[in-house]
Structure 1
Amino acid sequence: MIAYHGTPVGGTRQDGARFLAGRHALVPFPRQDDMGIVADVCQSFVFDNGAFSVWKKGGKLDDDQGRPACRLHGLRMLDPAIFQSLPFASADSTNAAVNGGSISRFGMYAPPTAGQRANVIADRIEPHNSSPIWQREAQAEMAL
C-alpha cells in the first residue's frame, strides 16, 4: 500500500523537505504551496481535487445543470446501484478479483474457473454507465 501524506506541511520549508524526503505526497490542487519540494524529494505524488473538503463545508461541486466541476473517481464504488447516480469519470473495485474465487455465488451454473467467474462479474458491471449529472434524489446520506 502506498501511504500518501497530505501537504502543505507545517513548519519551515526545510522541515517540510525533511519530512517528505522519500515519501509519497497528496497535494491539494488549490494549495500547491509545497509542490516544488514535493517534486524534488518525494517518490511520487498525486493531486487531490479538493472535492471532499468542499462537500464537507456544504459547498457546491457542480454547475447549474448538475455536472461536476472536476473529474471524479469513485474509490471502491464499482457497483451499478451506486455509480449510476453519480457523475464519475472512473471508478474502481476489487469485486471481480475477490469474488471470482467464490463458486457459491453462482448457484448450479458456475463457470469452471476463477478467471471465467471474474469475467462474468465484470461483464455484469461494465454495460452500465455513470450518470452524466448528480442525481441527488437517488442518493442516501451515509455517516462517515
Structure 2
Amino acid sequence: MEVLAHYIKEESKSKVVREKIENFKSSGGLNLHPDFPFYYTDGIKYAMSLFEEHKLFLDMAMRAFALSREDEFIVIRLCRGRNNDCWIEYCKRSRELLKKIRVPANVHVPVTPGFSMCFYFIGRTLLLPTEF
C-alpha cells in the first residue's frame, strides 16, 4: 500500500510539473550558462527550478550542442518508460534519432511513466517548445 501511495504522489507531482511547464508564459529573456557556452530561456530556467536537477539540463544542452554540428535544430525528448527507466533522445527536426542516452537511476526525473517531455536546442539556445 505504501508503494502505491508513493507512486500516486510521484505521478501527481509529475502531472503538476508538466502542466506548469506547458502553461509557462515566457518573457523572451535569455540567460547565458556560467559554465558552458549556451543560452537558455526563462522557460528552461523555470523548468530547472521545478525539476531541481540543474545538472540534467546542463548535460542535455552539452550533448545537443555537440550534435548541433549535424543539425542546427535538435529536438530533445526526456522520457520515462513503463518500467520507470529514463532516457533522453536527441533527434533532428524530422524526428530522425541522433542519439539516445540513459539517465542514471539516482537522477530524479518528474515525468510520468509512459510519457515524455520535449525541449528544443536551436543554435546555442535551449528552450521549451512553447517558446519557439
What TM-score comes out, normalization by structure 1 length? 0.21
- Greater radius of gyration (CA): 1
Report the structure, 1 or 2, having the larger strand content: 2
What TM-score comes out, normalization by structure 2 length? 0.23
| More RCO (CA 8 Å, sep 6+) | 2
